[in-house]
Amino acid sequence: MTSGHRFRSDFMQTFVARGHFHSCTDAEALDGLFLRERVTAYIGFDCTAPSFHIGNLVQLMTLRRLQQSGHRPILLMGGGTTRIGDPSGKDEIRQLLSPEQIEANKQSILKDVSHLLHFGDGPADAIMVDNAEWLGQLEYVPFLRDVGRHLSINRMLSMESVRLRLEREQPLSFLEFNYMVLQAYDFVELARRYGCRLQSGGSDQWGNIVGGVDLGRRMGTHELFGLTTPLITTSSGAKMGKTAEGAVWLNPKMRSPYEYWQYWRNAEDADVGRFMRIFTDLPLDEIAAFEKLGGSERNEAKKVLATEATALLHGREAANDAAETARRTFEEGVVADGLPSFTVARAKLAAGVAVTMLARMSGLTASTSEARRQIEGGGLRVNDERVEDVNATVGLSDLGSVGAIKLSLGRKKHVLIRPE
């Protein structure tokens, strides 16, 4: 079933109109289910890092759309599956984390994103569940007997995530191979415990999701459904949320609200409307009006995208502060206090610190050699003055009126170096 189907339920209509739809196990039947009853649906997230990134935000927005349409979302945290490692889209074995690391990551993640959903005890309130609750209690032999007998090794070997690893002769551990079994079992447990009917995820999870639907059928649950979103790329083909500095994290300590705002402000012209639909709550008719803008007006649309996306994640005040910092920095040419800052020991600054070292330490460049190349190309500036010498240093005498040194890469990346 394709997204060209005329859906009748509010959720499926919104899901398509917002650009989320990729594939569904039975779209027509699922549409009918949304019309008849309040649907409980889940998306699973492993706890491999202390923050989600923009790729995860696509899925969080799916849960948000579900709740906005009156349905109940389950945010499933993979306290159990994180101990195994999902081979999907990976070329090498995932580094195993300790239970303490997994728990710390889970708590950090929830702190950053729980406000995107309304949690509680009401019929459409979201719930957070950790699959360690049941996976940690499983006994191996009974699990093989009761669940393993329903799963086909032939089908598992044909899944793209497994097939590609085997074709490239890259290692696929028995531990990882079991990941898809546990994810399928998660769906069965959620169906039994919470009446869950739907699992959603990115298109790279299609095989795992279908495996859960099939296992539920074989183990006698009610009918289950799978629904996926497309892999989000930019118009130029780059993977969404990847930058030269790495992933675009949702944690404000790992990427400040200002840097997050700037990420959206720098979106390609052709992506503005699409990103507004996926990553903001702006009404669709307003988005359509923004898409008609051209020339310099498109920059205003990008600012709206940046502010609305940042407000959704970090709050309206932080979004407005980021927008004002950008305005003062670019339109007034002042050193705005709201820029990301990096501290250096006052004694070090007193002795003088190489610009190339500061560029690397502050994250403006990935290495000192890249910083040297930027200086040679005229890309690095100190207090808005171009750095001419690759051996240049800065010190306390370079502190500006705000008690910081402004270090810039190009026109759009800035950081304040402050003494401590």
- What range defines the domain where residue 407 resides? 341-419
Report the b/e string of 324-333 with b at 16+ CB within 10 A.
Answer: ebbebbeeee
For residue 91, count CB atoms less than 10 angstroms from its CB and return exposed for 0-12, middle for 13-18, buried for 19 or more: exposed
> For strand 353-354 and strand 393-394, is the pairing parallel, antiparallel, or unpaired?
antiparallel
User: Are 122 and 174 within one domain?
Assistant: yes
**315 found inside a domain:** yes
User: Are 314 and 348 within one domain?
Assistant: no
User: Are 272 and 143 within one domain?
Assistant: no
Q: How confident is the model at residue 342 (pLDDT cuts 50, 70, 90)?
A: confident
CA nearest neighbour of 47 among 111, 92, 1, 126: 111
Q: Which CATH number fits the domain that encloses residue 311?
A: 1.10.240.10
pLDDT of residue 1: 44
pLDDT of residue 299: 87
- Please provide the average confidence, as pLDDT, over all residues in the chain: 86
Give per-residue pLDDT as tens, 117-138. Answer: 999 999 999 999 999 999 988 8
Do the beta carbons of residue 184 and residue 215 sit within 8 Å? yes
Computed from CA positions of residues 48, 50, 56, 60, in that sequence, does the dihedral angle turn out positive or negative? positive
pLDDT of residue 244: 57
**245 found inside a domain:** no
127 sits in which H/E element: strand 127-130
Do the beta carbons of residue 401 and residue 333 sit within 8 Å? no
Last residue of a domain, which of 305, 332, 359? 332
CA nearest neighbour of 201 among 22, 18, 12, 4: 22
- C-alpha to C-alpha distance for 202 and 278, rounded to whole angstroms: 14
**284 found inside a domain:** yes
Q: 0.85 exceeded by the pTM?
A: no
User: Are 196 and 314 within one domain?
Assistant: no
- C-alpha to C-alpha distance for 312 and 280, rounded to whole angstroms: 7
Q: How confident is the model at residue 161 (pLDDT cuts 50, 70, 90)?
A: low
Give per-residue pLDDT as tens, 4-41. Answer: 568 999 999 999 999 999 999 999 999 999 999 999 99
User: Are 24 and 166 within one domain?
Assistant: yes
Give per-residue pLDDT as tens, 180-189. Answer: 888 999 999 9
- C-alpha to C-alpha distance for 118 and 64, rounded to whole angstroms: 9
The angle formed by the CA atoms of residues 126, 128 and 132, to the nearest 5 degrees, is: 155
393 sits in which H/E element: strand 393-394
User: Are 137 and 83 within one domain?
Assistant: yes
| Both structure tokens of 236 | 């130029």
Mean pLDDT of 70-76: 98
